[in-house]
Chain A
Amino acid sequence: MSERQYMRVRADMPPGHVRTPAYLRGKVGWVERTLGPFPNPEQLAYGMQAMPLPLMRVRFTMADIWGADADRPRDTIDAEIYRHWLEPAEAPHAT
């Protein structure tokens, strides 16, 4: 298995049309696969010319999203996040 590429979702909370769910902001996951490029929905939504962006399927563990509230820590969530919402990160926990 190739090395995991970890990414942190930006924790920003701007108003307007955004496709990055709030519950994932600030959380760290790893890239499951890279898709796209796809036009930026934050521009498409307002009828503007949209910049093509890589779209990453990022996989998070329930533990890394919900902490002690996690139902089953090892279950996972995958979500598609546009590249400009992601920053390279360290693995979230020592394993």
Chain B
Amino acid sequence: MPHDHHDHLSPSGHPYRPDDDHPLTYWQQMEIAVRELLIEKGVTTAQEIAAQIDTMDARNPSHGAAVVARAWTDPDFRDDLLQDASAATREMGFDIGPMRLIALENTDTEHNVVVCTLCSCYPRNLLGLPPDWYKSRAYRARTVKEPRKVLAEFGVTLPDTTTVRVHDSTADMRYVVIPARPAGTEGWHADDLATLVTRDSMIGTGLPKSPDIA
């Protein structure tokens, strides 16, 4: 049966890339062979692979945004999140699997930014797969040495009175930044606040959207 995704939109709202009709590459040939061998050997099933893809597709920055918005509106939850971010996000109902998460809170005097210099460690079970730039040589190489220049490329300029704290995700922990709550959002409900929280603001390369333009 021919696969045809052309009538469907991907979770990002774009049409699926029509990879099915591109010339077969060596590495795609390997993926198909490995997948079939794993199914034949009883390691997995086609259904399990499809379900895992669906699970990853369902993870996206809106999950992190909901966590951040609740931390902004619920002081007890904020404390729990800073104490044990894995437990707090699970308690909210997010399926983060075995991921060990640390939440980093931005304040008037501290700005956190996350990088993985050795590979591309990312809180994928909360935010979904990382953006391509996160995996780039430039981001991995420069963020630990000149974070303010990197942030400036993302349009984030911080005052000298703010300390930048870079977190190199080298081992078993993953990190999510809790950006500072934007001014002018007093009295907002968590669902509305969540619409201001961008993916980049939870990596530390962005700030939440301003309530004026949201």
Contacts and interface: CB of A to CB of B under 8 A. Distances in A.
* A–B direct touch in complex (beta carbons closer than 8 A): yes
Contact of A36 (B117, B167, B168, B172): B172
A39 to B, nearest CB: 9
A25 to B, nearest CB: 12
Given A21-B118, A66-B145, A71-B147, A79 B168 contact: yes
A84 interface: no
Nearest to B144: A77
Contacts, number: 65
B170 A72 contact: no
Interface residues of A, number: 24
25 contacts: A19-B170, A19-B171, A23-B145, A35-B173, A41-B171, A55-B171, A55-B172, A69-B145, A72-B148, A72-B160, A72-B164, A75-B147, A75-B148, A75-B164, A75-B166, A76-B164, A77-B165, A77-B166, A77-B167, A79-B167, A79-B168, A80-B168, A80-B170, A80-B171, A81-B171
Interface of B: 117-118, 144-149, 160, 163-173
Interface of A: 19-21, 23, 35-36, 38, 41, 55, 57, 65-66, 69, 71-72, 74-82
